[in-house]
Amino acid sequence: MSLQTFSLDAVQKLNQYVQTQLVLPASEQQPALETRAAMAAEEPPEPSSLDMLGDMFRAGGFEEEDSPAPNTKGRWFISTIDPGAALYKLPGLSLKPGVRLVTYLQRRPDGGLGVTWALPELMSTTTHLEEALEAAGDQPTPPRPRGALGHIMDGFTGDQRPASYVSASLLLRHLKELGRTGKLRRWSHHRLIPAVPTQYSWQWKGNAPKDLSPKFKYLDEKSVMVEFFSCRVVPPVALFRHLDQYGSAYRAKSNDQVIALLQAQPKG
- Report domain extents, the chain: 3-17+70-262
What would the mean pLDDT of 43-60 be, rounded to a whole number? 52
pLDDT class of 162 with cuts at 50, 70, 90: very high
pLDDT class of 48 with cuts at 50, 70, 90: low
Which helix (DSSP H) or strand (DSSP E) does residue 128 occupy?
Answer: helix 126-136
Q: What per-residue confidence (pLDDT) applies to 110?
A: 87
pLDDT at 87 over 60: yes
pLDDT at 38 over 70: no
Q: What per-residue confidence (pLDDT) applies to 136?
A: 85
- φ, ψ for residue 106 (rounded to 5)? -135, 130
Share the mean pLDDT of the chain. Answer: 87
CA distance 256 to 243: 6
* CB neighbourhood size of 236 (10 A): 8
pLDDT class of 20 with cuts at 50, 70, 90: very high
Kindly tell me the sign of the dihedral angle through the C-alpha atoms of 10, 193, 218, 160.
negative
pLDDT at 97 over 50: yes
What would the mean pLDDT of 154-176 be, rounded to a whole number? 97
DSSP 22: S
209-259: per-residue pLDDT in tens?
Answer: 999 999 999 998 889 999 999 999 999 999 999 999 999 899 999 999 999
